[in-house]
């Protein structure tokens, strides 16, 4: 059975090398690597290293070297296919069924590498010839010195339709077509794909040429694309390739950063300015696979797109691709370049320091998402604002991680509420205006009715305390209504208060208590929240401090259901498969739950003196 290079690369990417080796060899973290005493020879001091980012192990003592597949065959003693099957099962991949043509394709892939290497050598040779004068002149206008031209392998494809075929006569034409260097058209003679273009090799993670990009040099050819890339071939899949990854990877391990720009010329411009950790997609928006490749380098790649409308659309396409993939600590940051400028323009105007300063200002994904949707359409009417809210929630619904989804929902709803319902100025007291009476206390006759309305008697203390706080500070209800409305709160009194806001009811304590009563509900009494002594429930609490405490209590109340649900799901998952990963996730969420309870206790005891209706105690 022959397995394609792409399939094997996917297998290596899905399996963590240190995790596999760590099952039989004790590893110690050392910077970006792991160290151990070599399992292939006896030694007392560790000289064996494992590097997950590079995907290989190496012993400086005996020279043992390999990837995760080599480990399984050399250290575990498995046959190649047995090692593949075991790793594929761990990675959740299906081993391709036997195909009599697979061996031929694998052999052909090796030959295609030879074809691409020969083509690259020829393009470089043509650049140095008289034919390449126009291409050299263009490179001079870009400010690329000889070192940059040589390092990135610039070349030139002459105008002739059969020039490359004549130069690579040692290879059959079928291979040139398969490599994407020639185009075959029915009933016509095949011809060279790249003609009259400045050529740039596209290399894989091992630095082998797998494709080419060509920039047109004749501005009069308006019918031809400015940039032309190789088509997908057995060597090249543009959705799974990042330009310059083999150079940017080592640089990113030093900088702790990787920068994603729009095209390969931007990458080269940054490298020429001394910024080495840049990569680029190849004519498409970032794909899910490319985002995962970036996350193997750093947790928060920086997207740096041009400041024009097209650049911002490209940034948003990357944002929407990333949302479903978000996981704890892994996200994207985005830089908006000055309007009409690309990285080359910035480095020429402001130098590498100016570009570095812009990169330092990269903003979190959620901020870019909010600003894009806020500015996407006019917001002159309630319907417009409702459309903004719907768009934001549609983005949130694509997030798979439940914790992140809940936090994004809360953050975006808070931003929306502050934007759509700005806080009113405190109104001065006027004669005849109703003052806010004390919150009504439940009487025994109403208790049974409340039990029936809430399902299981009195609600928990946090819900009751927040309800009491909203009734004591009714002006805060409008500010937090949207956040409360989208939270999975089971106490029907919250829905009644939110409906009051939507209906335009007077946001005063007495009026809200009446609305609750009309629905067969009553305001929470001190006995419901006696265990919590929040500052906003104290009679003489300072207004600003009370509002701040109430906002924090609401945030805790909204966060709790998502946290409880995630913990329950993780516990159920651990009970099903008893894996180390499931156990670790359950323990992480359990720790968060304990931290949540601790925050609640601290807020509800240290910041206040007594619940409503009692005087503070010394």
> pLDDT tens across 274-315, in order?
999 999 998 777 888 899 889 888 899 999 987 777 777 888
**3-class secondary structure, 616:** coil
Q: Which CATH architecture has domain 102-236?
A: Alpha-Beta Complex (3.90)
Burial zone of 325 (CB within 10 Å; 0-12 exposed, 13-18 middle, 19+ buried): middle
Task: List the domain boundaries for the chain.
Answer: 5-91, 102-236, 253-422, 444-606
Burial zone of 541 (CB within 10 Å; 0-12 exposed, 13-18 middle, 19+ buried): buried
Between these two residues, 533 and 13, which has the higher pLDDT value?
Answer: 13
Q: Which CATH architecture has domain 5-91?
A: Alpha-Beta Complex (3.90)
Question: Does pLDDT of 618 surpass 50?
Answer: no
Q: What is the pLDDT of residue 448?
A: 36
Q: Give yes or no for a contact between 421 and 588, defined as CB atoms under 8 angstroms apart.
A: no
- Residues with Cβ within 8 Å of 397's Cβ and at least 6 positions away in sequence, in order, are 405
Structure tokens at 14: 């899905």
Question: Does pLDDT of 609 surpass 60?
Answer: no
pTM of this structure: 0.57
Between these two residues, 186 and 150, which has the higher pLDDT value?
Answer: 150
List, in sequence order, every residue forming a beta bridge with 183; answer none if it has no partner. Answer: 191
Distance CA 312, CA 30 (A): 39
**3-class secondary structure, 416:** helix
Question: Does pLDDT of 424 surpass 50?
Answer: no
Q: What is the pLDDT of residue 179?
A: 94
DSSP single-letter state for residue 196: S
**3-class secondary structure, 197:** strand
Q: What is the pLDDT of residue 501?
A: 81
Q: What is the pLDDT of residue 150?
A: 94
Q: Which fold has domain 253-422?
A: Dna Topoisomerase Vi A Subunit; Chain: A, domain 2 (3.40.1360)
Q: What is the pLDDT of residue 100?
A: 59
- Residues with Cβ within 8 Å of 106's Cβ and at least 6 positions away in sequence, in order, are 2, 3, 4, 5
Distance CA 586, CA 276 (A): 40
Confidence of residue 341 (pLDDT cuts 50, 70, 90): confident
Buried b (16+ CB within 10 A) or exposed e, 412-440: bbbbbbeeeeeeeeeeeeeeeeeeeeebb
Distance CA 583, CA 590 (A): 10
* Sheet strands side by side (includes 155-157): 155-157, 197-203, 209-216, 227-229
Closest by CA position to 312, among listed 264, 364, 369, 374: 369
Q: What is the mean pLDDT of residues 436-454?
A: 35
């Amino acid at each position: 059975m022959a397995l394609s290079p792409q399939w094997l690369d996917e297998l290596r990417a899905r399996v963590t090398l240190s995790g596999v080796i760590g099952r039989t060899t004790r590893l110690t973290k050392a910077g970006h690597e792991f160290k151990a005493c070599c399992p292939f020879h006896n030694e007392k001091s560790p000289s064996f290293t494992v590097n997950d980012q590079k995907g290989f192990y190496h012993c400086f003592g005996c020279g043992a070297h390999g990837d995760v597949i080599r480990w399984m065959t050399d250290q575990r003693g498995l046959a190649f296919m047995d090692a593949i099957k075991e790793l594929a099962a761990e990675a959740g991949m299906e081993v391709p069924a036997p195909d009599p043509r697979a061996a031929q394709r694998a052999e052909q892939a090796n030959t295609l590498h030879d074809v691409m290497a020969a083509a690259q050598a020829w393009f470089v040779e043509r650049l140095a010839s008289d034919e390449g004068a126009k291409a050299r002149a263009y490179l001079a206008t870009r400010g690329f010195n000889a070192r940059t031209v040589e390092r990135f392998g610039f070349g030139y494809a002459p105008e002739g339709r059969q020039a490359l075929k004549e130069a690579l006569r040692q290879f059959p034409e079928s291979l040139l077509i398969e490599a994407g260097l020639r185009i075959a058209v029915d009933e016509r003679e095949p011809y060279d794909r790249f003609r009259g273009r400045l050529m740039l090799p596209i290399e894989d993670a091992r630095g082998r040429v797998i494709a080419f990009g060509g920039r047109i040099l004749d501005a009069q050819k308006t019918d031809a694309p400015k940039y032309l890339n190789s088509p997908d071939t057995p060597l090249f899949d543009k959705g799974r390739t990042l330009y310059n990854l083999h150079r940017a990877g080592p640089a990113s391990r030093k900088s702790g950063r990787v920068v994603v720009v729009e095209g390969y010329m931007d990458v080269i411009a940054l490298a020429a300015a001394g910024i080495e950790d840049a990569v680029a997609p190849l004519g498409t928006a970032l794909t899910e696979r490319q985002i995962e490749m970036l996350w193997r380098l750093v947790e928060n790649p920086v997207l740096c797109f041009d400041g024009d409308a097209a650049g911002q659309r490209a940034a948003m396409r990357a944002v929407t691709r990333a949302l479903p993939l978000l996981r704890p600590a892994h996200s994207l940051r985005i830089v908006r370049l000055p309007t009409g400028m690309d990285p080359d323009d910035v480095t020429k105007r402001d130098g590498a320091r100016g570009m570095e300063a812009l990169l330092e200002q990269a903003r979190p994904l959620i901020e870019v998402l909010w600003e894009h949707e806020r500015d996407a359409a006019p917001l002159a009417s309630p319907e417009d604002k409702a459309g903004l809210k719907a768009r934001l929630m549609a983005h949130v619904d694509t997030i798979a991680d439940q914790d992140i989804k809940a936090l994004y929902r809360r953050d975006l709803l808070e931003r929306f509420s502050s934007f759509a319902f700005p806080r009113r100025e405190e109104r001065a007291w006027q004669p005849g205006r109703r003052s806010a009476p004390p919150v009504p206390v439940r009487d025994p006759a109403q208790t049974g009715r409340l039990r029936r309305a809430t399902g299981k008697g009195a609600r928990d203390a946090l819900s009751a305390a927040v309800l009491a706080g909203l009734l004591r500070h009714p002006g805060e209800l409008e500010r937090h209504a949207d956040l409360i409305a989208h939270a999975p709160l089971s106490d029907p009194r919250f829905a009644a208060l939110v409906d009051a806001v939507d209906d335009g009811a007077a946001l005063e304590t007495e009026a809200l208590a009446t609305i609750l009563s009309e629905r067969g509900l009553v305001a929470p009494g001190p006995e419901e929240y006696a265990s919590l002594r929040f500052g906003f429930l104290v009679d003489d609490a300072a207004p600003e401090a009370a509002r701040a405490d109430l906002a924090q209590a609401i945030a805790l109340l909204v966060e709790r259901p998502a946290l409880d649900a995630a913990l329950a799901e993780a516990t159920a998952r651990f009970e099903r498969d008893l894996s180390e990963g499931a156990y670790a996730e359950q323990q992480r969420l359990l720790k968060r739950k304990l931290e949540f309870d601790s925050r609640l206790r601290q807020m509800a005891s240290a910041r206040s003196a007594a619940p409503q209706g009692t005087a503070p105690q010394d």
